[in-house]
Structure 1
């Protein structure tokens, strides 16, 4: 299957945000084992190819994906607009768990804590679960209103293509 085919196969991403709570839960299955999906989250060359919407060009300035490491990346619009993100890796336990912070530099001090788990499924597949904790329901709701769900879904479709092509 080519990346073009993979992009057309419907793979539901379940995004749950309980009203009034400060959490977002994302569940997504991939047609690749946890080791490959995990690597796509930790390898800067792979990460930059799938994270977020395709209209943005992602440049990973640094990514030290280990417990105690950090990362920073920039996403650029074709018209010159930029979005900068950074965070710290609190736990990296290959290939099944990453705990990290995520901060959009355009809103300093608004840090979320993400816990990602990568589980084995039959037939060499993986289930990714991400639990994001925000400082408040208001901050969580602002992220959702800014289009987080669309960016996550498009990014995961792009990751499907990399996995299908054997790149990730």
Structure 2
């Protein structure tokens, strides 16, 4: 596999949204496994120095997912949501709630593109109820967590 480093593109998408795009030097089926299998999610999601102490991911219509991370100082950060429709690499829909801002739920869509030659692209769009909700999650480390998480995902994918 190529060792090309891909930057995460994070852009505000209209008044209430964020779109995140990342390319991987790995095939779509491998990337999708890392996005859906709880054991693999626990190895990569979030910033370096944080341990994922609880990961569930019932990737089916109506299924719930949870993530609890513990930071270097022992503080815990919890996230949760519910899947809508049956998830596929082409389209996965779910809610996302960071319990640091309880009740401020966003709706996410994730899609993947097979770029050929063993490469793929992941695009996630999150729509928030308000611009303040969007800005609040970004102000609390979302950009760094996504960027470092995808770097960690590259490391996990290299082991599969």
Structure 1-normalised TM-score? 0.88
Higher helix share: 1
Structure 2 residues not aligned, in runs of 5+ = none
Contact 1:91 1:97 in 2 (8 A): no
Distance 1:138 1:79 in 2: 27
Q: How many corresponding residue pairs?
A: 160
2:52 counterpart of 1:66 = no
Which structure has more relative contact order (CA 8 Å, sep 6+)? It is 1
Give the alignment's Cα RMSD to 1 decimal.
1.7
2:124 counterpart of 1:130 = yes
Contact 2:10 2:143 in 1 (8 A): yes
Equivalent positions of 1:73-112 (< 5 A) are: 73-112=67-106
Q: Which residue of 1 aligns with 2:112?
A: 118
Structure 1 residues not aligned, in runs of 5+ = none
Structure 2-normalised TM-score? 0.92
Distance 1:128 1:61 in 2: 21
Contact 2:42 2:55 in 1 (8 A): no
Q: Which residue of 2 aligns with 1:39?
A: 33
Shift of 1:159: 0.4
